[in-house]
Amino acid sequence: MTKKERAVFIDTYLEKKYPETPIPLDHSDDYTLLIAVLLSAQCTDERVNQVTPYLFKKANNPFDMIRLSQKEIEGIIRPCGLAPMKSKGIFNLSKILVEQYGGAVPQDMKLLESLPGVGHKTASVVMAQAFGVSTFPVDTHIHRLAQRWGLTSGKNVKQTEIDCKRLFPKERWNKLHLQIIFYGREYCSARGCQGLTCELCRLLYPNRKHPKKVKKP
C-alpha cells in the first residue's frame, strides 16, 4: 500500500471500530476542558478525572480559581504530577482570562497558545473539542502510531501533525485523533504491540518481522 492508501484504510478501519468518540476528559464547559487538558500532560486521563472533581468543586471558573492560592491548587492536583508547574499555569492563565477576556476562554489558537501552561497540543485539543475547529492534536500516542503505520517519518511532533493533516480529510481530523488514541490505548500500546501484534499493524504490514523503532517526540 502507498502512504495515501494506508491513510484511507486506517480512516475506514477506525471509523468502523469507534463510531462514537466521547471526550475522555470529564468537563462541563470550555474552561474546565482547558484545565483538564493542561493537567493531562504526562498523566493519564483516568487520573485527571479522579482529581478534577475536587478541583472543580472549589473552582470551576477562572473567577473562583484565582480566589484560591497557587499552593491550594498545587495541593489538589498533586496526584497528576508536575504540580508546581501546572498549578502556576492554572492560576496565571485564569488570572489572564479574568483580566483580559472577561473570564471567557478565547476561541483562537494563537491566543490560547499565549496562555501560561498552554502549549500547541493543549490549544489544539480545546479548539477541536470545545469549539469544533478542525485541528489534529498530536500526543505521544498519535506520534508513535503514525510512525508504526507509515504515515510519517516521526522526525518530531510538529512534522507528524503536518503529515497527518496532509493525509486525512480536514472534516475527519477532530474525530480521528481521538479514534487513534482509543485504538492505541486498547490495542497498540508502547510495549504491547511495537508494530507487530495488533490487527491494524498486521493488516498494514503483514510481512513485518521486527519491531518498528519509533522516534520519541
Q: How far apart are CA 136 and CA 174, in angstroms?
A: 6
Known catalytic membership, residue 3: no
CA-closest candidate to residue 49, choices 62, 35, 70? 35
Which position among 86, 121, 163, 212 bears the catalytic label? 121
Q: Which of 11, 57, 95, 139 is catalytic?
A: 139
197 vs 57: CA distance, rounded Å: 43
Give the contacts of 41 (CB within 8 A, at least 6 positions apart): 82, 86, 122
* 210 backbone φψ class: left, alpha, beta (φ>0; ψ -120 to 50): beta
d(Cα 120, Cα 110) in Å, to the nearest integer?
9
For residues 174 and 181, is the Cβ–Cβ distance under 8 A?
no
16 is an active site residue: no
Q: Which residues are the active-site residues?
A: 121, 139
